[in-house]
Amino acid sequence: MLVKKLKSNLQDYDGKEVTLQGWVRTNRKSKNVSFIELNDGSTFSNLQIVYTPEMGGYDEATKITTGSAIEVSGVVKVTPEGKQPLEINATKITVLGMADHDYPLQKKRHSFEYLREIPHVRPRANTYYAIFRVRSVLSMAIHTFFQDRGFVYVHTPEITGNDAEGAGQCFTVTTIKNQDYEKDFFGKHAQLTVSGQLHVEPFALTYRNVYTFGPTFRAENSNTTRHASEFWMIEPEMAFADLSDNMDVIEDMVKYCINYVLEHAPEEMAFFERVIDKDCINRVKAVASSTFKRMPYSEAIEELQKAKGRFENNDIFWGMDLQSEHERYICEEVVGGPVFLTDYPKEIKAFYMRENEDGKTVAACDLLVPYVGELVGGSQREERYDVLKAKMDALGMDEEILQWYMDLRRFGGCVHSGFGLGFDRMLMYLSGIQNIRDVQPYPRTPRNLIF
């Protein structure tokens, strides 16, 4: 019997005997009655187990340690007047696996820094117990959104010979100790992917609407709360879709994911609101019910120049790459809600983004939302072979490596667009958790590789 099933059918089980398995969160002994808080993994909240000296094995049960795995048989008692909707009056408690006394999670608040050192145990701590379930729920939301709309899910490779972003911040995959890659496993330089975009584009030109959702890697030596060396990305790609179509899908997806998580993880979101960020639910509800504005990058620069003196970085000029404080000012102070910034200078965007007619900007968009700034980045892709080739030549890129990508423009190419949503940052946004290390099961960051 699962606790979740009990709670969803209270009246059906009232007065009946059930058997459950789970882990002890707390065990409190008093003179005439004792209590175990049990969690079986099926729901966020614990189930109270009540046991008395009349139960066989009472003395042994009072010695059960926090973290132990147990099996409980007992009678269900519905308690509408109590803090919890039901409790179990135990008739038998069996230890399935006793936790040693040095079990690292005791009945006190542990710092996130401490819990990051024990990633194999920290899922049992309330914050992580909540966020990793929401991680699962949000994954389902992503797949449901795209599958319901006819998108094809494509598994793009983790090992690649291409650097999609052209930034060179890649992890090399090798079986040798030197850099003689011709003698290596693949006979060439191989690396972990920084994006699935280039590999998913050919499928968009086959199935029309596709998406890839998987891990990506950046060898960026950045020790911030927002960066990780391994993270998950959602990257849809759509044929016969321009930048405006792209933004429509982004808006629909973000709203859908917010509403899905609020519906399917209400206890976890209530916990975040109570313990992590008291505004998290109101904040995401406001986004889900708003209309996303659209503003050209040039107009955003004008607004920032009017507000000079309000930022840590007050060197505001056309062509700059906006910082988080600038992005938040635009969406929180100027727009008062989510906003797409569009038409960025081509020098600060990737080579594959479509060049606009002005020759200075590209058909790119970043979705900015209150509290975090940029949440999603996307663009219309450059479908013109000669323009793409000229851009790659100007950047000194090796065309031979990406000739296959350029060929897509010669073999039935068309207008197409796509975007990338950082899955881990979306979790941070939903929960109010400030550090990306606390939304990932096993975070990979510079100088940090536990397990």
What confidence tens digit (pLDDT) does each residue in 358-372 have? 999 999 999 999 998
User: Residue 223: helix, strand or coil by DSSP?
Assistant: coil
Average pLDDT, the chain: 94
Beta bridge partners of 344: 362
User: Is residue 215 over pLDDT 90?
Assistant: yes
- Beta partners for residue 378, in sequence order: 365, 419
User: Most distant CA pair in the chain: distance in Å?
Assistant: 85
Give the Cα separation of 150 and 253 in Å (integer): 14
Angle of helix 126-148 relative to helix 423-431, nearest 10 degrees, comes to 120
pLDDT in tens, 4-20: 999 998 889 999 999 99
Q: Is a pLDDT exceeding 90 seen at residue 126? A: yes
Structure tokens at 16: 């009946």
d(CA 91, CA 74): 5
Return the pLDDT at 240: 98
Average pLDDT over residues 261-289: 97
Interval 274-288 mean pLDDT: 97
Average pLDDT of span 108-120: 93
Q: What is the pLDDT of residue 82?
A: 80
Give percent of the chain above pLDDT 90.
86
Ordered DSSP codes for 381-438: B---HHHHHHHHHHTT--TTTTHHHHHTTTSS---EEEEEEEHHHHHHHHH----GGG
- Percent with pLDDT over 70 in the chain: 99
pLDDT of residue 167: 56
State yes or no: pLDDT of 168 exceeds 70: no
Q: For 309-347, how does the pLDDT look when each residue is reduced to its tens digit (9 = 90+)?
A: 899 999 999 999 999 999 999 999 999 999 999 999 999
pLDDT band at 166, cuts 50/70/90? low
CB-side exposure of 380: number of CA atoms within 13 Å? 22
The encoded tokens of residue 256 equal 């859908």
Closest CA to 288 of 317, 312, 252: 252
State residue 337's pLDDT score.
95
Give the tens place of pLDDT for each residue, 184-200: 999 988 999 999 999 99
The predicted model gives 111-134 an average pLDDT of: 96
pLDDT of residue 165: 60
